[in-house]
Amino acid sequence: MPELLAPAGGMAQLKAAIRFGADAVYGALPAFGLRAFAGNFTWEELAQALLYVHQRGRKFYLTLNALPYEEEFPALIDTARRAADMGVDAALVSDLGAFLALRREAPALPLHISTQANTLNSEAASFYARQGARRIVLARELSLQRICDLRQKLPADLELEAFVHGAMCMSYSGRCMLSDHLTGRGGNRGACAQPCRWEYALVEKKRPGEYWPIEEDGRGTYLLSAYDLNMLSHLPALIDAGIASLKIEGRMKTEYYVATVVGAYRRALDAYAAGEEAYRALLPELEGELRKASHRPFNTGFYFGPPAPMAGAAGFTQEMEYVAQVEAYENGLATLQLKNRFYVGDTLELLCPAGVFPFRVEGITLADTGAAVDTVSIAGQRVIIPLPHPAEAGDFLRGPNRNHRG
């Protein structure tokens, strides 16, 4: 089975990813990681993260794929050397100069070529392999057939990684200047303002202040906003194509999102390992799982030809919302940290690595005072509820999203 690779914007997401079945995670330090507004990891937190994943037999890949200026090379090299000494399993780079410099100056650090490098053909992939790259994260614009053809022309020990789920960038494998132009925040420097997700309209020069929608539905006009990728129902084809690592996008996402999506893909891969019939039987349930986490409308990206439409995806939607996280479970009682309001009598779901278990809330007790209440609504509050299914710290509770738009 291929590796299941999950995003880790911080320690909470990392723990959720590992607990719900990721074989590896990718995350960043504050510099060079292309997600400047994720939680990211300090050096101290990186040491804790490496200990956590390695104790569980998993891997941590450090993203160093920002495009560096000349004066930043000393800091980049120092970062790579320190990361290698700490035991990072690999680093992702996109800039050719950064790749060559790190191969020379930090030879102990395995390197993966980021999707930002736009690797589309065997000549480019073979060049990186000859220079010592361990893995290529393929350009998102490749079809499945082209990936199959590419795999056949490459050395067997050169791994291929591909995105299978999450947000898609409107620009070519993420190389975009729109954010720089409109806001001064560089997408290739980790500070993208995502202007492709904004709502646009036309204005005629002689009629200032008069706007016409370009293409409109009930939610507005989203000319540039790409659909989210979802390849859950095509895992056998991805595996047959020779992809070694299935990558989930989302370092800006919550731990609940990571747990939901990673859990669905983990269960799908495990079912497929037992036989394709078991995998196909489980798919409807797992596709439903993906709709319970925040997402835009789904499509299959470029895997089966150019996506149609490429743009027009409105804002996020999700069928369920993150209600609480389990801190402890004993004698049928779960201690929770609250995220969103719920009531006595609500039907919630327990999300854990084994699956999903619905239950009715029979009572709520405030952990600090022991008072029985009918509802709770303060994020961070600790409460105790009867829970009919065994749970563990790190499991999640969720309930119907009362603001969901179908």
pLDDT band at 307 (very low <50, low <70, confident <90, very high): confident
Tens digits of per-residue pLDDT, 46-55?
999 999 999 9
Who contacts 141 (Cβ-Cβ below 8 Å, separation ≥6)? 118, 120, 172, 173, 302
C-alpha to C-alpha distance for 195 and 382, rounded to whole angstroms: 38
Round the average pLDDT of the chain to a whole number and report it.
Answer: 88
Q: Could you tell me how many helices (H) and strands (E) the chain has, helices first?
A: 10, 22
Is it the case that residue 310 has pLDDT exceeding 80? no
> Which is nearest to 84 in space by CA: 55, 46, 35?
46
Alpha-carbon span 114 to 111, nearest angstrom: 9
Q: What is the pTM of this model?
A: 0.87
Residue 165, CA distances (Å) to 123, 154, 261 in order: 27, 25, 8
pLDDT 10s digits, 248-260: 999 989 999 999 9
Render pLDDT for 329-341 as a digit per residue (tens, 0 to 9): 999 999 999 999 9
Tens digit of each residue's pLDDT (9 = 90 or more) over 200-227: 666 666 767 765 555 544 444 455 667 8
The CB-side HSE value for 319 (13 A sphere, CA atoms) comes to 11
Secondary-structure breakdown of the chain: helix, strand, coil percentages, each rounded to the nearest 5: 30, 25, 45
**pLDDT tens-digit series, residues 357-384:** 999 999 999 999 999 999 999 999 999 9
Q: Write down all domains in the chain, each with its CATH number in brackets.
A: 3-173+225-299 (3.20.20.70), 320-400 (2.40.30.10)
Residue range 148-201, pLDDT digits in tens = 999 999 999 999 999 999 988 766 555 565 656 556 555 554 556 666 655 666
Contact 127, 155 (CB under 8 A): no
C-beta neighbour count of 184 within 10 angstroms: 9
Long-range contact pairs involving 256-259 (C-beta distance under 8 Å, separation at least 24): 256/16, 256/293, 256/322, 256/339, 256/396, 256/398, 257/293, 257/294, 258/6, 258/7, 258/8, 258/13, 258/16, 258/17, 258/20, 259/16, 259/17, 259/19, 259/20, 259/351, 259/396
79 by Cβ neighbours in 10 Å (0-12 / 13-18 / 19+) ranks as buried
pLDDT at 352: 96
Contacts with 239 (C-beta within 8 Å, 6 or more apart), sequence order:
1, 2, 272
